[in-house]
Amino acid sequence: MTLKTTMNKYRLFAPGPTPVSEETSLAMAGPIIHHRTEPFEKIVAEVREGLKWLFQTKNEVLILASSGTGAMEGAVVNTLSKGDKVIVVDGGKFGERWWKICKAYGVEADVIQVTWGQAVDVKEIKSRLDKGGYKAVFVQASESSTGTYHPIREIASLVKAKDDCLCVVDAISALGAVNLPMDAWGIDILITGSQKALGLPPGLAMVGLSDKAWKAAENSTLPKFYFDFKRELKNVQQNTTAFTPAISLIIGLAQVLREFKKEGLENLFARHARLAEATRQGMLALGLQLYSSSPVNSLTAVKTPEGIDAQKVFKILQTKYNMTIAGGQDAAKGKIFRLAHLGYYDDLDVVTVVAAVEWALAELGHKFTMGAGVGAAMKTLREL
């Protein structure tokens, strides 16, 4: 059951950080150039165009030196004022983060508690919006803790009809993996991070704002300084940032965006759909169930059968096969494990992760035909 080898490569299949390509690592290992120079400004100009393309927006996308949470906080403090009422969709650890940020700043969150693993019922949002008085709806495109996609298109469409209400989407683990056309769907704030689909090290957050969001920013009175979006907008329009940017990561971002452009948006989303579907079929073929009833293409959350501790699957992969996946959090701890298909990750990576999960399950006494999961994944990859 143990690998009969002393060579054991590290494989990172967690929903962030994700694997970085050698080409990107090399680009980032080049000499650090100063950010107030023409060569770096050219890189920012290229990245600006690339991000508008990836976010599918005509507006600027801001680049922040922070993790994604910093951009989430920025979305709150730049568009709202103390006492404002908002709707928060909480279907997992990251939905929870929205109302915690709101609470820290005195914004009143009306929280829609969604059963973990389920998508929010848009009717719940609609009935609240119809009552009126809400300044924003906060939601995840991909709730990483449960592997769930919330119906962003439908939510954005409902919010679009309301004046003075913003649709704010945390797409940290979704953007680049899932189609989220910001302008076409009417998303007002769209957020992502470097360490997910983009396949970069963590340390960069990116955020796009609609005209409606920029208008709200005019009236917002919450305090802000480091995450002051209006100051960042003025700077990015001059191909720079307000404060010292994470230079090496932005150089890596330029490289990744070049690769994404070669691939094309449609292929990008199709690739993630195909990797996700193969992973799901592999897991189902082992007699396991998906945790989410609305599985997102960024990652697959898998329930272990009664009597098998999902944390043990996680631990065996980590210690024996040098592979990092993710376990479950809070109430889902011990019940699920999560496999990401993000970053520098291809078809044969699906095969390796399904194989390692099979070995771990066999060790834990689960009954199945060895290779059944891998076979199902391979079949899907060949057909899709």
Residues of this chain that interact with a second copy (CB under 8 A) are: 10, 12, 14, 16-20, 25-26, 28-35, 37, 65-70, 73, 100-101, 104-106, 193, 195, 201-204, 222-228, 243-249, 318, 324
Which stretch of DSSP H or E encloses residue 206? Answer: strand 204-209
Nearer to a second copy by Cβ, of 9 and 382: the residue is: 9
Nearer to a second copy by Cβ, of 64 and 155: the residue is: 64
331: DSSP letter: G
Nearer to a second copy by Cβ, of 16 and 373: the residue is: 16
Q: Rounded distance, CA 168 to CA 74, Å?
A: 11
Q: Rounded distance, CA 94 to CA 100, Å?
A: 10
Nearer to a second copy by Cβ, of 249 and 378: the residue is: 249
Smallest separation, CB 257 to a second copy (Å): 18
Nearer to a second copy by Cβ, of 1 and 10: the residue is: 10
Smallest separation, CB 329 to a second copy (Å): 10
Nearer to a second copy by Cβ, of 33 and 331: the residue is: 33
Helices (H), the chain: 22-28, 38-55, 68-79, 93-104, 122-131, 152-160, 182-185, 211-219, 229-236, 247-263, 265-284, 310-321, 347-363, 372-383
Smallest separation, CB 365 to a second copy (Å): 26
Q: Rounded distance, CA 256 to CA 199, Å?
A: 8
Say if CB 173 and CB 298 are below 8 A apart: yes
Q: Rounded distance, CA 150 to CA 48, Å?
A: 27
Helices (H), 136-208: 152-160, 182-185
Smallest separation, CB 249 to a second copy (Å): 6
Give Cα separations from 335 to 150, 283, 288, 308, 309 (angstroms).
22, 15, 11, 8, 6
142: Cβ contacts below 8 Å, ≥ 6 apart: 148, 149, 171, 172, 173, 174, 177, 178, 296, 298, 299
Nearer to a second copy by Cβ, of 195 and 292: the residue is: 195
Smallest separation, CB 231 to a second copy (Å): 10
Smallest separation, CB 151 to a second copy (Å): 26
CA nearest neighbour of 129 among 96, 166, 78, 184: 166
115: Cβ contacts below 8 Å, ≥ 6 apart: 91
Nearer to a second copy by Cβ, of 113 and 244: the residue is: 244
Nearer to a second copy by Cβ, of 74 and 186: the residue is: 74
Smallest separation, CB 53 to a second copy (Å): 24
Smallest separation, CB 42 to a second copy (Å): 14
Task: Tell how strand 85-90 and strand 108-113 pair up.
Answer: parallel
Smallest separation, CB 158 to a second copy (Å): 27
Cis before residue 17, ω within 30 degrees of 0? yes
